[in-house]
Amino acid sequence: MKKQKAYAAAGVDIDLGNRVKATLPQLLASTHRREVMGKVGGFGGLFALDVKKYRQPVLVSSVDGVGTKLKIAFAMDRHDTIGEDLVNHCVNDIAVLGAEPLFFLDYLGTGKLEPHVFTEIIRGFARGCAANGCALVGGETAQMPGFYAAGEYDVSGTIVGVVDKSRMLNGQKSIRRGDVILGIASSGLHTNGYSLARKILFDQLKLKPKQRLAELGGTVGDELLKVHVSYGPLVQALLKKFNRTGAVAIKGLAHITGGGFVDNLPRVLPAKCDARIEKGTWDVLPLFQLMAAKGGVPEAELYQVFNMGIGMTVIVAADAADKVLRTIRAAKFQAWAIGEIVAGAGKCQVV
């Protein structure tokens, strides 16, 4: 009988890791861009930026995780959406500056490497990157026995994109009173607010992840695992159509993540303007209606924790609002005019 290696006996199976990672080239083929150099598995990912495409290229980067949404994946033993969630979240974070995503790197830490879980997560990364035209150029998989609870893991990701300096969105310079705020629908919680949602749904209401609810049209777990929508390709199309030289219709974008409207919209506002969001102007998803009705959480806090059905806001010149809205809807996204820019002090009012 072959003796087990000492490191494997201690909980870190390098050979298993190498076998699992051997499938990566096939999984990542769909994310390839012509600028990618070398292959996955080197000490660093290589990407040759085509500087001829830009007058003044500005690199834009972001790093994030998916928070306690992972707890739902563990409970459902479903891991195919997590990677896609993370890519889309990061894409949206740089899209608000007008940046096109170039490449993405992931980190996965776990106590014991489970091949099927690893494969599902990486497939999600690859699916998200391919849909956003973003290359998956590398990452790190760390086996850390004794560090995580059995069956659990953590993921994070870093994205790098580029935008020409002259086309970079800066709402603090361009947003004015009278501009219209458009809201684009989310699929659900996206990747924020899960700690409060889990408390309401599982602790207070005593629901189970695999329990079906008629108002949700499926199980609680499936509702909570709906993929974070990517708005990246839509944003690029909108900027190409409406922000031409000498005519800037789209003035600012805010990704509605942790902090909801209250904390995210002020990040793009001038000091003397407020964003006024009018409740009732969009369709609030059944999940949010359920938590609002039975969660016992003050309404003001709900709008600071959850996206409440709006994943991205677009601040546009009033005379272009109808055209932009029609274009968003033609791209198969639900969207509404949900507010306007008013005089203020750089805050968000939800009324």
Tell me: the pLDDT tens digits for 161-220? 999 999 999 888 899 999 999 999 999 999 999 999 999 999 999 999 999 999 999 999
Query: What integer pLDDT is reported at residue 96 of this predicted model?
Result: 97
Which single residue is written with the structure tokens 């949700």?
Answer: 216
Kind of pairing between the strands at 218-219 and 243-244: unpaired
- The confidence score (pLDDT) of residue 16 equals 73
Question: Phi then psi for 6, rounded to 5 degrees?
Answer: -60, -40
104 three-class SS:
strand
Q: CB neighbours (10 Å) of residue 201? A: 26
Main-chain phi, psi angles of 219, to 5 degrees = -80, 160
Res 293: pLDDT: 95
| Angle at 120 (CA atoms; ends 137, 148), nearest 5 degrees | 90
What fold, for 171-350?
Phosphoribosyl-aminoimidazole Synthetase; Chain A, domain 2 (3.90.650)
- Tally of CA atoms within 13 A in the half-sphere of 267 that contains its CB: 18
Q: Which two tokens stand for residue 201?
A: 């749904």
**Domain limits, the chain:** 6-167, 171-350
Class of domain 6-167: alpha beta
The pTM of the full predicted model, rounded to 2 decimals, is: 0.93
Please count the residues of the chain. Answer: 351
The residue ranges of the chain whose pLDDT is under 50 are none
Asked whether 191 and 67 are in contact (CB, 8 A), the reply is yes
Looking at residue 328, what is its pLDDT?
98
